[in-house]
């Protein structure tokens, strides 16, 4: 449990960029900490790696870089995260960190941690109107939906609605979700309008997934790992579900720009079977969950002309041969 006084003193919130769960987490935190600055960061970017520790910071759905997290511990930062690869970092924060274990607490995500560990407690402590139970009200529903989709709880009866929410969250700019009293009854129509857009996006997304998979590059490693790779990191989860047991490893990629003359290429991996995405991605500076993780690579576009498909195939081959990083 995070100390309430520490929570109330938060001035800077760091959340996961380009992620429906990270956006939902930011909503909960902004609602109870409206004066805190929210910064969305993506793993593997220069902004993430160069983030400076300051007093009164809170990380949610993202953890500091493995090389710098001690600086944030020394600065007294708080952290809420559920990515398996970051468990050691979160636990190093002691009472100032809460880790959501995907095994012990299926469905826990960044948004649910923000709801349970910050929003719910600050609402009640401040004497503001709040739910009567930790999963009551629209806030509890949104937190649960975010967790169902982010941790891929397909067996849940609310799976379809969770997918609709995720599509809407990804479609609208993250900042547009940071409204006043987002979970109050007065904003019910606002939610309904956005969920309507999400339902339209679901239909369009299904067609995009099918096209990406059909046009993807397929290869099998010397160890027998069947891989499908295509353009579009946001499609990786749905593509993995679409392919099912026809692939061991499903990968989406995107170029995210140029940083200091280096092209940044991001890979998002998903696995249904025995391939450990987290360990593979950690070997290349990334992280995530056992069956869902990501990482990025940088290169000089003037001297390298390898395609993303070739880059990934080489990295996977080195990992499986035990020479990753060589």
Domain shared by 300 and 155, yes or no: no
- Whichever domain contains 125, its CATH number is 3.90.1640
Return the pLDDT at 289: 84
Residue 128 has pLDDT above 70, yes or no: no
Question: Of 144, 174, 202, which one is at a domain's C-terminal end?
Answer: 202
Domain that holds residue 293: 215-320
Domain shared by 193 and 233, yes or no: no
C-alpha–C-alpha distance, residues 98 and 174, integer Å? 24
Mean pLDDT computed over 100-106: 86
Q: How confident is the model at residue 127 (pLDDT cuts 50, 70, 90)?
A: very low
Q: Is residue 209 part of a domain?
A: no
C-alpha–C-alpha distance, residues 97 and 279, integer Å? 23
| Neighbouring-strand partners of residue 217 | 229
C-alpha–C-alpha distance, residues 177 and 19, integer Å? 13
C-alpha–C-alpha distance, residues 69 and 53, integer Å? 9
DSSP per-residue letters across 182-244: TTSGGGHHHHHHHHHHHHHHHHHHHHHHHHHHHTSEEEE-TT--EEEEEE-GGGHHHHHHHHG
C-alpha–C-alpha distance, residues 7 and 29, integer Å? 10
Mean pLDDT computed over 269-291: 88
Return the pLDDT at 134: 44
Summarised one tens digit per residue, pLDDT across range 295-308 is: 999 888 888 767 89
Domain shared by 177 and 231, yes or no: no
- State the total domains in the chain: 2
Domain shared by 139 and 228, yes or no: no
Return the pLDDT at 219: 96
Summarised one tens digit per residue, pLDDT across range 2-53 is: 999 999 999 999 999 989 999 999 999 999 999 999 999 988 788 898 999 9
Return the pLDDT at 96: 98
- Whichever domain contains 233, its CATH number is 3.10.310
Domain shared by 90 and 46, yes or no: yes
Q: Is 172 left (phi over 0), alpha (psi -120 to 50) or beta?
A: beta
- Other CB atoms closer than 10 Å to residue 18's CB: what's the count? 16
Domain shared by 37 and 186, yes or no: yes
Mean pLDDT computed over 310-324: 90
Residue 266 has pLDDT above 70, yes or no: yes
Q: Is residue 207 part of a domain?
A: no
Q: How confident is the model at residue 105 (pLDDT cuts 50, 70, 90)?
A: confident
Looking at every residue in the chain, the average pLDDT score rounds to 91
Return the pLDDT at 132: 42
Domain shared by 280 and 240, yes or no: yes
Mean pLDDT computed over 92-120: 93
C-alpha–C-alpha distance, residues 40 and 106, integer Å? 25
Mean pLDDT computed over 204-228: 94
C-alpha–C-alpha distance, residues 286 and 200, integer Å? 33
Domain shared by 219 and 79, yes or no: no
Domain shared by 88 and 160, yes or no: yes
Return the pLDDT at 125: 61
Distances (CA, A) of 314 to 189, 260, 307, 321: 50, 24, 11, 11
Q: How confident is the model at residue 135 (pLDDT cuts 50, 70, 90)?
A: very low
Q: How confident is the model at residue 129 (pLDDT cuts 50, 70, 90)?
A: very low
Distances (CA, A) of 117 to 37, 52, 60, 112, 208: 19, 25, 11, 8, 37
Domain shared by 68 and 176, yes or no: yes
Both tokens assigned to 305: 């002309």
Q: Is residue 181 part of a domain?
A: yes
Summarised one tens digit per residue, pLDDT across range 55-68 is: 999 999 999 999 99
Distances (CA, A) of 183 to 28, 140, 197: 9, 9, 18
**Model-level pTM?**
0.83
Return the pLDDT at 126: 54
Classify each residue of 150-173 as buried b or exposed e, where b means 16 or more C-beta atoms within 10 Å of its C-beta: bbbbeebeeeebbbbbbbbbbbee
Q: Is residue 162 part of a domain?
A: yes
Domain shared by 62 and 104, yes or no: yes
DSSP state of 116: I
Q: Which residue has the higher pLDDT, 234 or 165?
A: 165
Q: How confident is the model at residue 136 (pLDDT cuts 50, 70, 90)?
A: low
Return the pLDDT at 259: 82
DSSP state of 94: G
């Amino acid at each position: 449990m995070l100390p309430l006084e520490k929570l109330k003193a938060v001035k800077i919130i760091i959340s996961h960029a380009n992620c429906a769960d990270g956006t939902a987490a930011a909503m909960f935190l902004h609602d109870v900490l409206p004066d805190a600055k929210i910064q969305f960061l993506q793993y593997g970017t220069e902004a993430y790696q160069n983030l400076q520790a300051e007093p009164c910071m809170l990380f949610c759905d993202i953890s500091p870089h493995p090389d710098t997290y001690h600086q944030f511990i020394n600065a007294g930062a708080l952290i809420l995260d559920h990515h398996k690869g970051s468990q050691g970092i979160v636990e190093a924060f002691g009472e100032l960190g809460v880790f959501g274990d995907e095994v012990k607490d299926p469905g826990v995500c960044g948004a649910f941690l923000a709801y349970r560990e910050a929003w719910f407690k600050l609402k009640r402590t401040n004497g503001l109107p709040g739910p009567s139970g930790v999963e009551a009200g629209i806030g509890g529903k949104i937190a649960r939906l975010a967790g169902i989709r982010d941790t891929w709880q397909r067996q849940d009866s609310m799976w379809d609605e969770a997918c609709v929410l995720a599509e809407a969250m990804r479609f609208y700019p993250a900042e547009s979700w940071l409204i006043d009293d987002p979970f109050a009854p007065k904003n019910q129509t606002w939610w309904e309008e956005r969920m309507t857009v999400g339902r339209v996006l679901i239909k369009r997304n299904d067609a995009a997934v099918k096209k990406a998979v059909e046009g993807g590059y397929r290869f099998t490693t010397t160890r027998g790992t069947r891989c499908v790779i295509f353009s579009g990191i946001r499609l990786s989860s749905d593509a993995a579900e679409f392919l099912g047991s026809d692939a061991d490893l499903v990968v989406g990629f995107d170029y995210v720009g140029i940083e200091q003359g280096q092209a940044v290429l991001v890979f998002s991996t998903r696995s249904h079977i025995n391939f450990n995405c987290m360990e593979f991605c950690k070997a290349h500076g990334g992280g995530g969950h056992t069956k869902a993780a990501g990482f990025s690579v940088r290169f000089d576009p003037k001297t390298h002309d390898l395609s993303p498909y070739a880059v990934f195939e080489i990295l996977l081959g080195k990992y499986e041969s035990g020479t990753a990083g060589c």
